[in-house]
Amino acid sequence: MFKIRALVTALTLVSSITVASAWDALPTEAPAPADNPTTAAKVDLGQLLYHDPRLSSTGTVSCASCHNTFLGGEDNRPNSVGVDGQKGGRSAPTVWNAAFNKVQFWDGRAASLEEQAAGPVTNPIEMGMASWDDVVTRLKTIDGYVAAFENVFGKDSISKENATKAIAAYERTLITPNSPYDRYANGDKNALNAQQIRGLEKVSELGCTSCHSGPAFNGPGVFQKFPVIPNGSLEASHHLSKDKGLAEVTKKADDEHLWKVPTLRNVALTAPYLHNGSAKTLEEAVKLMAKLQLGKDLSKDELADIVAFLNGLTGEFPKQKFPSLPATPGTTFTEK
């Protein structure tokens, strides 16, 4: 809890600062931590685990169920659906470019992709496993996983730590560079059309980049209060007071309605918007953010220009080949 609190304190100090390199192109590779170097075999194992519904209690929900790598990296639902048809309280954030987040989850409670990968598996609403010990026991019954873990981590290496390292290694490959914006930032001044350039300029003029800065348009890891400017009508219609954000984790009043700043990369593909999916369209989300965060009422033309620019942040997606999961010939696990 102290770790989260200290992180919030440090990051909030820079929440109002516009990063000078706001118009940088997205890197094509994500750095890996020293204790989890990226290897091709580890990425392959992580891809298997990420797409395997047997990591859920009912065998019906995988990481990819809510964070679909054949779409925008999420599920286009206001609230994701977990085991037994249960619905969570938040909209799934995209996994694309998540490697460039300083913290993970909407409330920023995980400091790394490895830490994030561990959470949903044992969340009773999401994947519903009683414990990671149960996950490890199940994986050990699948010969293909025994061999794959041994190839990557050594003999008798199936564990929570190694499984989450593999998933995180795979997620670090999910990068979408070379959007029209990236080509523009790299010197191709024809990559964005005139309307998109007006939108880029308006985003800077309004101050959107005080939070959505840097190559991933997610700021330097900041937490931001949402909404900043009270508006009873909009807060009620979008149910913004119900979820207290980081305070749900820390139980601190000062943390109420603090949220991780989400990336704007591929935002045109990830409707609905906001942490609870209550904004159905990109136009609605832009209007809400301008009003509630900046106190601005956008004109029709300003709104159209900004939305056009945001469409220019859709990058090139690396090809995803659905993996053949390790089989269990002649047997299966027992559902709960």
Q: How many Cα atoms within 13 Å fall on the side-chain side of residue 291?
A: 16
pLDDT tens per residue across all 336 residues of the chain: 434 444 444 344 333 333 334 589 999 999 999 999 999 999 999 999 999 999 999 999 999 999 999 999 999 999 999 999 999 999 999 999 999 999 999 999 999 999 999 999 999 999 999 999 999 999 999 999 999 999 999 999 999 999 999 999 999 999 999 999 999 999 999 999 999 999 999 999 999 999 999 999 998 767 999 999 999 999 999 999 999 999 999 999 999 999 999 999 999 999 999 999 999 999 999 999 999 999 999 999 999 999 999 999 999 999 988 899 999 999 887 554
pLDDT at 335: 56
What is 33-51 written as a DSSP string?
Answer: -TTS---HHHHHHHHHHHH
Lookup result for tokens 């206001």? 78
Q: What's the predicted TM-score (pTM) here?
A: 0.92
**Is 126 noted as a catalytic residue in this protein?**
yes
User: In this structure, what token pair is assigned to residue 212?
Assistant: 């959505």
In single-letter form, the type of residue at position 57 comes to S
CB 14 within 8 A of CB 209: no
Return the domain boundaries, the chain. 31-171, 180-311
Q: Which fold has domain 31-171?
A: Cytochrome Bc1 Complex; Chain D, domain 2 (1.10.760)
CATH annotation of 180-311: 1.10.760.10
What pLDDT shows up at residue 321?
87
301 CB-contact burial (10 Å; exposed 0-12 / middle 13-18 / buried 19+): exposed
**pLDDT score of 262:** 96
Chain centroid to CA 196: how far? 25
- Residues in contact with 327: Cβ distance below 8 Å, sequence separation at least 6, in sequence order: 142, 144
What phi and psi values does residue 225 have, to the nearest 5 degrees? -70, 140
3-state class of 87 per DSSP? Answer: strand
- pLDDT at position 322 is 87
**Structure tokens, 36:** 């989890």
Measure Cα distances from 42 to 150, 165, 233 in Å.
11, 8, 49
Q: Which of the residues 126, 248, 256, 316 is marked catalytic?
A: 126
Which H or E run contains 301?
helix 300-311
Q: Given CA atoms 98, 305, 285, 18 in this order, what sign does their dihedral have?
A: positive
Q: Which helix (H) or strand (E) holds 225?
A: strand 223-225
b/e code 144-162 from CB counts within 10 Å (16+ = b): ebbebbeebbeeeebbbeb
